Amino acid sequence: MRHRASLILGAVLVGLMAAAGLVSLAWTPWPLAEIDVLNKLAAPSAAHPLGTDGLGRDLLSRLMAGAANSLSVAAGAVLLGGGIGTGLGLLASAWGGRVEEALMRLCDLSFAFPALLFAIMLAAAFGPSLLNTGLAIAFINVPIFARVARGAANQVWVRDFVLAGRAAGRGRAAISRDHIVPNIAAPLIVQATIEIATAILAEAALSYLGLGAQPPAASWGRMLAEAQTLLWVAPMQAVWPGLCITAAVLGFGLLGDGLRDWADPRLVRRQA
């Protein structure tokens, strides 16, 4: 039953974060950029449930907006990178031979590159922004998904129904689309969930370094950086965004784990 617990806890955490982010798009307790210098670093109160930051902005509102930024960048980047990577993996698997060899060696090559370093390089080249951060994270995900998709697809290609499909006159592209993709969807979804957790962390790190979200946009990583100078004065300023990052990463990680165990009955039996 352990996988059931992680599935539920993960889903609840992810659901909370996603809900907070969604709500922030339409409504936040306070306007995001409303500065109230007289009321800066205020303690929690009825008006400001989590208090205010160094410029007197409502902390809860900024955390909610941060959730929207973090989740959308992470999920968007993984979807984009994962989509391209899956396509390349399917291509490698369907054509085999030199095409497969070349694509997979390219993937190996990109794994030799430290991911965060690459993102920093990209930000240096194209300027720091949330979009460039997302593109960098997407790029990192391409070889990961190419590998997972190619490995899973290779196992499907040798199955009898693929042979039957070829005998029915179907080409590689049609077989990939109609037979391979549905049969490798489960591991890809699990991988995507886990990679979103990693992507949230990466986005926070880049924003902390000032390469992601630019002020006055709200971002958990950026809030951590701003709280750093006030650590002795107002430690809770750093605790809240830190907690949010932890909860989101943990949530997606648990959800991914739970989904994997749920999709793979062999694991369940071993635990029982």
Positions that interact with other proteins (CB under 8 A): 96-97, 159-161, 163-171, 174, 178-179, 182-183
Stretch (H or E) spanning 271 = helix 265-271
Shortest Å, Cβ 116 to other proteins = 38
Q: How far is the CB of 181 from other proteins (least distance, A)?
A: 10
Which SS3 state, helix, strand or coil, does residue 234 take? coil
Evaluate whether 248 touches 17 at the Cβ level (below 8 Å): yes
Q: How far apart are CA 171 and CA 113, in angstroms?
A: 36
- For residue 179, the minimal CB distance to other proteins (Å) is 5
Torsions phi, psi for 97 (to 5 deg): 55, -135
Q: Least distance (Å) from other proteins to the CB of residue 209? A: 44
Closest approach of other proteins to the CB of residue 99, in Å: 13
Closer by beta carbon to other proteins, 84 or else 99: 99
Smallest separation (angstroms) from other proteins to the CB of 171: 6
What is d(CA 50, CA 76) in angstroms, rounded to the nearest whole number? 29
| Of residues 62 and 179, the one with the C-beta less far from other proteins | 179
Q: Name the residue nearer to other proteins (CB basis): 95 or 262.
A: 95
| Alpha-carbon span 148 to 52, nearest angstrom | 44
Calculate the alpha carbon distances from 246 to 4, 166, 222 in Å: 21, 48, 15
Q: Residue 184: name the closest of 250, 93, 54 by CA.
A: 93
Nearer Cβ to other proteins, position 165 or 242?
165
What's the min distance (Å) between Cβ of 172 and other proteins?
8
Residue 112 is classified by DSSP as T
Answer yes or no: are the C-beta atoms of 174 and 162 closer than 8 Å: no
Cα–Cα distance for residue pair 252/196, rounded to 1 Å: 7
Tokens encoding 32? 């995001």
**Shorter beta-carbon distance to other proteins: residue 50 or 156:** 156
Q: Which is nearer to other proteins, 179 or 222 (CB)?
A: 179
Q: Own/partner pairs for 100-106, CB < 8 Å, 24+ apart?
A: 100/150, 103/146, 103/150, 104/146, 104/147, 104/150, 106/143
Cβ nearer to other proteins, comparing 47 with 164: 164
